Every structure is written in structure tokens, then in C-alpha cells.
Amino acid sequence: MKRKKRLKAVQKRAEKKDSLRRFAFGHLERQLPLTFPKADVPEGHEQSPKRRYRSHYEYQGSSRLRDMNVWRDASPFTIATYLFDFSNLEPLLAAHLYRGSAKGQVPFHPVSMYLLILYRRQENLSRPEVLRRLRDPEEGRLLRQLTGFEKAFPSESGLRYVESRISPQLQQEINALQIDTLFQAGLLPTRPQAQKAVTLSFDGMLHQARSRMRCACQQRVRMSTNHRNRMSPDHRSQCPLTIISAYSPPARLPRPQASAVRTARPCAFLSTGSFRL
């Protein structure tokens, strides 16, 4: 007997179009923006005393998504900024990025810097190139509008510093908040009273098949289960190629905890809801 061929994900979605209606823009527009829940400042961090910033992030609305050309031509980053309002991430990001003092130079808005980092990772750009685009009068116009930069721009060293402050633990917290945002909007296939829970985790496959392990952490210690047990916690946390699904407990809906989600880099989730069920 010939074994039935398994359908690919795109084929399954084509067969169940009714289940995708909730993601149609006509239905989704009534719920926009998808607003992040307010995040408390974690233990060990103080509320940032910064009250002024050299950039001003503001949600730009979703009206441009009514143009079908935007869905076809825009990058995932651009679409995500039209779908999500990141304003509530300001206290959480500021507590991690900036020192607990009102003295010193006026910094850039933490959400502006976070979105610029996401854009750099999405487009696979170097720091000098992303800053060149940001300053360009024509090429960077939309990017400045989405991130909130106007006349002042960060330096390469400033961008590098902010990237170093966005730890895997901080990104885990942001990812968990975004999953909660999607759940509250009814965009996840589960209900709190469902008897059978749905396991949700981030896609952590960062290597192509047969790729060489160029990461120094990978070269020293191969990421097998036995070898991973020999690694110190600090060594594991420093490796940017940690595989999520193989070594981390998945988040359980409807209220995923940040500690239950492990990600490898800020662009692993990219704030676009690119999760795997």
C-alpha cells in the first residue's frame, strides 16, 4: 500500500481557508494597533530617570496597510511597525539600556533604538550602512518616520552599546509579551479553557543544513545534549547560536512566561509574530 504523502504547511493552509479569516486585514484592522502590555521593571533594575529623549517614537497607524502594494512590496519590519504599537516597551527597555541617573547626555528613545536594531538585523546590514540609510534624506525617510528619529542620529559606538545591552533575557521578556499580545487579539489557535493545550515556541533553527559551525562557542563545544551539560551557564548564555526548541521548555499559552522562552538573537522573532506551532 502506497504511503500517503504528507502535505506541506502551505498546502494545509490552502485547504483550510476558513481558519485564516481571522488574519485577513479586513478582520484584523478592527483590532489594530496590537499594543504590547505594559511591562514592569524587573527586579534588580531601577525605573529610568530619563524624561527627555533626542528621538520620539510614535505609532504611525495602520492606514497604509489598506494599500495592497504595501503588503506586496514592504519588508516584514515595515509591516510589523504598522501592526504593533511598541510604546509600552519604553519603561522596560529604558531600565535595561540606560543608567539610573538623570545626569549625562540626553539619550535616544529606547524604542527608537530597539527598532533600529531590529531593522538592521532584518536587512542584514552593518552598523555603518544602517546609519547611512537612516541619515539619507530620501532612502531613510520611511525608516526615520517609523523609528522616531528626526535631526539627531546615534553614532556607531552608541548603536553598538545599545545592542550589547539587549541581553537574551530581555529579548525573552519582549517575545513573551508579544505572544501575549497576539493571544489577547485572538490570533493564536487556543483558548484558556481548552482541555488540550497548544505548545508554542520560537523557531530557533539558525543554521542551514550542512553549514559550518563558525561560532567560537560551537567550535569549542558541540551543541549536543551531552556536551551542553558540560558548559557553564555563562558560556551557554554567550553563544548566539543556542537552539531553542531542543534545549528549552516551550511556552504554554495563554500566559507564556519570559523564563520559559529562550531565543538566540533579537531578530529570531523580529516582532512579526513568526512563531511555530
Per-residue pLDDT of 114-126, as tens digits, reads 999 999 999 999 9
Is the pLDDT confidence value at 178 over 70?
yes
The residue segments making up the domain with residue 220 are: 194-276
- Say whether both 246 and 143 belong to one domain: no
Backbone angles phi, psi at 95, to 5 degrees: -65, -30
Q: In 10 A of CB 2, how many CB atoms?
A: 4
Question: Which residues share a beta bridge with 85?
Answer: 35
Across residues 151-159, what is the average pLDDT? Answer: 94
Report the chain's mean pLDDT, rounded to a whole number.
74
Indicate yes or no: pTM above 0.75: no
Q: Is residue 260 part of a domain?
A: yes
Q: Is residue 179 part of a domain?
A: no
Q: Are 26 and 32 in contact (CB under 8 A)?
A: no
- Say whether both 23 and 113 belong to one domain: yes
Q: Are 118 and 77 in contact (CB under 8 A)?
A: yes
Q: Is residue 42 part of a domain?
A: yes
At residue 276, the pLDDT reads 38
- Say whether both 145 and 224 belong to one domain: no
- Say whether both 25 and 67 belong to one domain: yes
Across residues 256-276, what is the average pLDDT? Answer: 39
- Say whether both 133 and 27 belong to one domain: yes
- Say whether both 207 and 126 belong to one domain: no
Measured between alpha carbons, how far is 43 from 134 in angstroms, rounded to an integer? Answer: 35
DSSP alpha helix (H) spans, 16-126 = 25-28, 68-73, 76-83, 90-97, 110-123
- In the chain, the number of structural domains is 2
Q: Is residue 62 part of a domain?
A: yes
